[in-house]
């Protein structure tokens, strides 16, 4: 990336305990020379409206696409390949009108729908759970809240049995062929949950396992590592930290129920790339095309 600013970064935080983490990523992206907007406690509709303005270059985002890249980062709760908007009184399972499918977010910035980002690097980072709800658990829009006591692993509550989820397969079949330079990054593997933890007596407050691993990796290596290399290093770091947390948890002699609630201790972050034909570097001068020697 050569331009200054590099591009625009949107950071959405819907989990109040992770707002400090959102501030940290705003600082990181600004240091990487992105024009960064931090949005906290946005509902599903507010997130959608903000993304729509960005994709269509309207409102405060008019004329902002002068860089080489775009970053959209979500820090909060998710389920079944959807992000969950902020609610003053959270409900579980979430109603249809409180969730936004990840595939729809990515599609908003496709080559056809977002001309300003054609051929430019696009990064979508989802730091949220990806567990799969059974059809019987899905709450229809407008239905009264159902308090079953089931919360995602970030809230340290029970979760149901997870299954393999359909990530971006429901996009139009031509989508992968028509869109370029698109990176979709997940904090955890399909069907699993993301974690965050508290750091008592420190300025950190609460932080997610993925957020810490990703931010520390960027801080150390963004000067000379590609985005793909940074993600690979984040995966390793995240898995090591997850295992450490799990071993500390085992020292508390948890019950069988608590072990089942914890689930798989390894988060396994993922990156999916669509029509990416070049390495992406945050540091100018390190661009490399696949066809270069």
Structure tokens at 179: 């869109």
Structure tokens at 20: 């400090």
For residue 62, give every residue at least 6 positions away whose Cβ sits within 8 Å of its Cβ, in sequence order, or none: none
- 2 located within any domain: no
d(Cα 39, Cα 109) in Å, to the nearest integer?
Answer: 19
pTM, rounded to two decimals: 0.79
CATH number of 179's domain: 3.40.50.1460
The whole-number average pLDDT for the span 194-206 is 66
CB 48 within 8 A of CB 97: no
The whole-number average pLDDT for the span 85-92 is 89
The whole-number average pLDDT for the span 139-158 is 36
Over the stretch 221-259, which tens digit does the pLDDT of each residue have?
A: 998 899 889 988 988 888 887 777 778 878 888 788 776
CB 98 within 8 A of CB 146: no
- 167 located within any domain: yes
173 vs 225, which has greater pLDDT? 225
71 vs 269, which has greater pLDDT? 71
Total count of residues recorded for the chain? 293
- What is the bridge-based pairing of β-strands 270-274 and 182-186? antiparallel
Least confident range from 44-53, 59-68, 177-186, 194-203: namely 194-203
Average pLDDT across the chain, whole number: 77
d(Cα 149, Cα 253) in Å, to the nearest integer?
Answer: 23
Q: What is the CA radius of gyration of the chain?
A: 19
User: Which residue from 278, 270, 276, 287 is spatially nearest to 224, judged by alpha carbons?
Assistant: 287
> Based on the structure, what is the number of domains in the chain?
1
d(Cα 43, Cα 107) in Å, to the nearest integer?
Answer: 20
List the domain range (segments joined by +) for residue 177: 7-289
Burial class of residue 63 in the structure, from the number of CB atoms within 10 Å of its CB (0-12 exposed, 13-18 middle, 19+ buried):
exposed
Coil, helix or strand for 11? strand
- 18 located within any domain: yes
């Amino acid at each position: 990336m050569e331009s200054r600013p590099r591009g625009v970064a949107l950071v959405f935080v819907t989990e109040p305990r992770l707002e400090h983490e959102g501030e940290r990523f705003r600082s990181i992206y600004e240091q990487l020379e992105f024009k960064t907007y931090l949005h906290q406690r946005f509902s599903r509709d507010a997130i959608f409206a903000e993304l729509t303005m960005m994709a269509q270059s309207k409102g405060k985002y008019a004329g902002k696409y002068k860089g080489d890249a775009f970053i959209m980062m979500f820090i909060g709760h998710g389920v079944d390949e959807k992000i969950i908007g902020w609610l003053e009184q959270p409900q579980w399972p979430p109603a249809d009108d409180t969730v936004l499918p990840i595939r729809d977010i990515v599609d908003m910035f496709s080559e056809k729908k977002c001309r300003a980002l054609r051929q430019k690097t696009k990064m979508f980072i989802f730091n949220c759970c990806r567990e799969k709800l059974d059809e019987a658990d899905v709450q229809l829009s407008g239905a009264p809240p159902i308090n079953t006591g089931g919360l995602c692993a970030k809230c340290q509550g029970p979760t149901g049995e997870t299954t393999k989820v359909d990530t971006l397969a429901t996009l139009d079949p031509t989508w992968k062929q028509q869109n370029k330079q698109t990176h979709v990054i997940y904090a955890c593997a399909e069907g699993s949950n993301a974690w965050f933890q508290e750091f008592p007596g420190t300025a950190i407050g609460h932080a997610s396992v993925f957020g810490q691993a990703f931010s520390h990796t960027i801080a150390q290596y963004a000067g000379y590592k590609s985005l793909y290399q940074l993600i690979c290093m984040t995966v390793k770091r995240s898995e090591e930290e997850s295992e450490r947390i799990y071993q500390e948890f085992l020292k508390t002699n948890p019950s069988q129920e608590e072990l089942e609630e914890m689930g798989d201790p390894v988060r396994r972050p993922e990156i999916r790339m669509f029509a990416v034909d070049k390495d992406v570097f945050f540091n100018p001068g390190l661009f490399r095309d696949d066809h270069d020697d």
